[in-house]
Amino acid sequence: MDMQNQAMGYDRAATMFSPDGHLLQVEYAEKTVRWGSASIGIVCSDGVVIVAHRRVKDQLINEESANKIYEVDRHIMGAAAGILSDARVLIEDAQLIAQQNRVTYDSDINVESIIKDIANAKQKFTQYGGVRPFGVAVMIAGVSSGKPQLYLSDVTGNYFSYKAAAVGHDDDKIREILRQEYKENMNLSSGIKLALKVFKRVLEKDYNINNFDVGIIKTDEAKIKRLNTEELKKHE
Q: Residue 48's pLDDT is what? A: 98
Instruction: Write the Ramachandran bin of 82: left for phi over 0, alpha for psi from -120 to 50, otherwise beta.
Output: left
Classify residue 17: in a domain, yes or no.
no
Q: Are 74 and 223 in contact (CB under 8 A)?
A: yes
- Statement: residue 2 has pLDDT above 50: no
Q: How confident is the model over 82-91, as a mean pLDDT?
A: 95
Q: What is the pLDDT of residues 206-218, one digit of tens each?
A: 999 999 999 999 9
Q: Are 214 and 51 in contact (CB under 8 A)?
A: yes
Classify residue 2: in a domain, yes or no.
no
Classify residue 8: in a domain, yes or no.
no
CATH number, domain at 32? 3.60.20.10
Classify residue 222: in a domain, yes or no.
yes
Q: Are 144 and 44 in contact (CB under 8 A)?
A: no
User: In which domain, by residue range, is 148 found?
Assistant: 22-233
The three state secondary structure string of the chain is CHHHHHHHHHHCCCCCECCCCCEHHHHHHHHHHHHCCCEEEEEECCEEEEEEECCCCCCCCCHHHHCCCEEEECCEEEEEEECHHHHHHHHHHHHHHHHHHHHHHCCCCCHHHHHHHHHHHHHHCCCCCCCCCCCEEEEEEEEECCEEEEEEECCCCCEEECCEEEECCCHHHHHHHHHHHCCCCCCHHHHHHHHHHHHHHHHHHHCCHHHEEEEEEECCCCCEEEECHHHHHCCC
Q: What is the pLDDT of residues 28-73, one digit of tens each?
A: 888 999 999 999 999 999 999 999 998 876 777 777 777 899 999 9
The answer for residues whose C-beta is within 8 angstroms of residue 51's C-beta and 6 or more apart is 39, 40, 41, 42, 192, 195, 196, 199, 212, 213, 214
Q: Name which residue leads in pLDDT, 235 or 109.
A: 109
* Number of domains forming the structure of the chain: 1
Classify residue 161: in a domain, yes or no.
yes
Average pLDDT, the chain: 91
Instruction: Give the chain's length.
Output: 236
Cα atoms in the 13 Å half-sphere on the side-chain side of 73: 28
Specify the pTM: 0.92
Classify residue 13: in a domain, yes or no.
no
Q: Residue 10's pLDDT is what? A: 67
Classify residue 7: in a domain, yes or no.
no
Q: Residue 9's pLDDT is what? A: 66
Q: What is the pLDDT of residues 136-173, one digit of tens each?
A: 999 999 999 999 999 999 999 999 999 999 999 999 99
